[in-house]
């Protein structure tokens, strides 16, 4: 543990952008008895296998499991894949959403080059207890990797922030300012924690998230940096859809934002058509993509806009293989590839 008077920013650390080189991708394997995929656990396994299969061509994959039996279940699903690219770690979790409960990694040029920020975690505003195992995952990963740990004493999920790696971060008011997270902290105090612990100088705020998003509006379903000054953001073309107005408002905010006195470069992504299951609208979004070293994983929904989304990502990432994977079962858990993954930066 690092003395609380020393913050990552004061020690020269920063949170890299997702497109910077990775040493590995971390996952938390879902538990059959978990709550994320009610009555459909077996139906999500093909998508998980496809995700790991794509990732191991790009970088090693580290998978958190609860015990030997849990590891055996995961190995059975991944049977036939190059297992030397996969490592299993006895770090138990409640649910599989590693983006939100996993470690936020920081880098710097001095030794130690890598560090972990362990934000407090309360399962998206105490919605899904228990979350005691998820809450301590970052420190357990840091212990395994023998890394220093910083404790901001603020609730934050990884899916609620998106940095450009050069001092700017995107987030949403509906999530970070929600009283179910940090009611004791003002907007200014939250911004200061982000500056101190992620080394950002500017925080760009969007408004509300998409319908069906139980995270209260994570940025990784809305708008993402794909370069230091380029943002890809979702838009809804159907004026009768409940997402139309909030997404237009977010687009208007992005158009007003300036980085070094210049407007952001904005690329718009379509939304898939409304998906409803058992009376619940699901937060399907192409913005929940994941950037690995050699590929970009894009959620697909058997929708007419799937190919349009893939073409846009192909133009944005010409040096990476763009891989679309059917996520119609995964989204029943209210998240897809970005929600499931957490990148460990490579260090020189």
| 2 in any annotated domain | no
| 1 in any annotated domain | no
131 vs 122: CA distance, rounded Å: 7
pLDDT of residue 122: 98
| 118 in any annotated domain | yes
Beta pairing partners, 296:
291, 322
Does the pLDDT value for residue 217 go beyond 90?
yes
Q: Which domain holds residue 315?
A: 9-345
| 322 in any annotated domain | yes
Active site residues: 339
| Average pLDDT rounded to a whole number, residues 96-115 | 97
| 4 in any annotated domain | no
Number of domains, the chain: 1
| 124 in any annotated domain | yes
Element (H, E) at 223: strand 223-225
pLDDT of residue 150: 97
Predicted model pTM: 0.97
Task: Kindly report the CATH number assigned to the domain that includes residue 27.
Answer: 3.75.10.10
pLDDT tens across 266-280, in order?
999 999 999 999 999
Confidence label for 348 from pLDDT (cuts 50, 70 and 90): confident
Does the pLDDT value for residue 1 go beyond 90?
no
């Amino acid at each position: 543990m690092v003395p609380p008077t020393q913050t990552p920013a004061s020690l020269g650390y920063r949170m890299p952008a997702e497109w910077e080189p990775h040493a590995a991708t971390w996952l938390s394997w879902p538990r059959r008895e978990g709550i994320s995929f009610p009555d459909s656990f077996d139906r999500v396994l093909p998508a998980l296998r496809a995700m790991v299969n794509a990732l191991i061509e790009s970088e090693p994959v580290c998978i958190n499991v609860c015990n030997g039996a849990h590891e055996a279940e995961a190995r059975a699903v991944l049977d036939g894949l190059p297992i030397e690219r996969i490592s299993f770690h006895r770090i138990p979790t409640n649910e599989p959403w590693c983006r939100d409960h996993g470690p936020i990694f920081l880098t710097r040029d001095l030794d130690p080059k890598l560090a972990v920020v362990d934000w407090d975690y309360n399962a998206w505003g105490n919605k899904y207890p228990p979350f005691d195992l998820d809450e301590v995952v970052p420190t357990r990963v840091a212990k395994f990797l023998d890394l220093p740990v910083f404790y901001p004493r603020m609730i934050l999920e990884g899916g609620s922030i998106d940095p450009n790696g050069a001092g700017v971060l995107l987030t949403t008011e509906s999530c970070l300012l929600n009283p179910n997270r940090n009611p004791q902290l003002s907007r200014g105090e939250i911004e200061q924690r982000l500056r101190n612990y992620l080394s950002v100088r500017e925080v760009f705020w969007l408004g509300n998230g998409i319908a069906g998003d139980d995270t209260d509006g994570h940025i990784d379903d809305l708008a993402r940096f794909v370069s230091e000054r380029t943002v890809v953001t979702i838009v809804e073309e159907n004026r009768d859809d409940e997402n139309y107005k909030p997404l237009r408002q977010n687009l208007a905010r992005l158009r007003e934002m300036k980085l070094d006195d210049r407007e952001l470069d904005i690329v718009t992504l379509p939304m898939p058509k409304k998906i409803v299951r058992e009376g619940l609208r699901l937060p399907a979004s192409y913005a929940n993509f994941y950037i690995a070293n050699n590929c970009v994983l894009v959620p697909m929904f058997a929708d007419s806009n799937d190919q349009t989304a893939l073409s846009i990502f192909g133009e944005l990432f010409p040096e990476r293989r763009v891989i679309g994977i059917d996520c119609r079962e995964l989204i029943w858990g209210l998240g897809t590839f970005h929600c499931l993954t957490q990148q460990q930066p490579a260090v020189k």
